[in-house]
A and B are shown apart, each in its own frame.
Chain A
Amino acid sequence: MDSSLKALKLMIVDDSNIIRRRIERSQQIARLEVVGAACNGREAVDLFRRTQPDVVTMDLTMPEMDGIECVQELVAINPKVLILVVSALADKATAVEAIEKGANGFLCKPFNDRQLNEALEELLSET
């Protein structure tokens, strides 16, 4: 790892435990350190306030509070947060809406390890 690069905190938001664990296990970006995972938007907002992550992976279809609403809340708390939406919702309108609400990237499920890491690399290139 390039010591000149600041370590970044990653929060994972998905209602599927399997997907949360898969993202944590598969992400190979040396700069990223997973600081927490949440299973719905409401829990994510609480965890976001406590852990102050720099990067978030965000599912969209979740109980309690969906991902689009959560993206808006997180961006309102910290406009600099980088959010990668990871969702099965494959229509263009949803991706555009997520970006308009403040997300920085969109990865469609299902994904493999290479696709996840490429999406995260692209997201981090904005830093």
Chain B
Amino acid sequence: MLKEGEIRTFIEGTTNYFETSAQQAASVGSPYLVTDGKPGAYEYTGVIGISGARKGIVYFTAPRGMLTVLLMRMQETDSSDENIRDLVGEVANTISGNARRDFGKNFVISVPMVIAREPDRVTAPHARSYVIPINWRTHSAKLVVCLE
């Protein structure tokens, strides 16, 4: 179960990522709770396992079009599948790692696992997940936080 302030940590991490890496702000919609264990996913998903004081996962999921433009905004000209996978994992890693500013060192994050083109394989370990909708340029993505 997440407290309101903890959700705000992930919202701030998300907006900071886009402002800093892409120099273009993203807007974040109202977070909502999913209780069926299926928060949903887009084409590419970077999953971070969380252990230590909290247990669960954080994932960032986005369509290829958004990730391609994000790469371009970062002056990366190679939008190969390998780099798209790398990027979606790095976004998840960065937002999760930044959360340690508030959660502390015992919020232990794994290296990213990337799931591509198999959104049905993306599942939450617990029934309840918070979904943070992200809108950037014309694209939609989401950050999913599923913690005990």
- Residues of chain A touching chain B, judged by Cβ–Cβ distance below 8 Å, are 15-19, 21-22, 25-26, 61-63, 87-91, 93-94, 108-112, 115
Contact = CB atoms under 8 A, between A and B. Distances in A.
Given A17-B86, A89-B100, A25 B75 contact: yes
Contacts of B42: none
B83 A110 contact: no
19 contacts: A17-B83, A18-B76, A18-B83, A21-B76, A22-B74, A22-B75, A25-B75, A63-B111, A88-B96, A90-B99, A90-B101, A91-B101, A91-B103, A91-B107, A93-B105, A94-B105, A108-B98, A110-B16, A111-B20
Contacts of A18: 71, 74, 76, 83, 86-87, 90
Nearest to A19: B90
A15 B87 CA distance: 11
Nearest to B101: A90
A94 B90 contact: no
Contacts of B16: 110
A91 B93 contact: no
A98 B82 CA distance: 30
A94 B86 contact: no
A16 B97 contact: no
Contacts of B76: 18, 21-22
Grouping DSSP codes into helix (H, G, I), strand (E, B) and loop, the B interface class, with mixed when no group exceeds half, is: helix
Contacts of A25: 75
Contacts, number: 69
Interface residues of B, number: 32
B23 A112 contact: yes
A56 to B, nearest CB: 19
A4 B105 CA distance: 43
B111 A91 contact: no
A110 B78 CA distance: 20
Contacts of A17: 82-83, 86
Interface in B1-46: 16-17, 20-21, 23
A63 B89 CA distance: 13
A89 B96 CA distance: 8
- From B75, B100, B103, residue with most partner A Cβ within 10 Å: B100
A26 B93 CA distance: 21
A33 B87 CA distance: 25
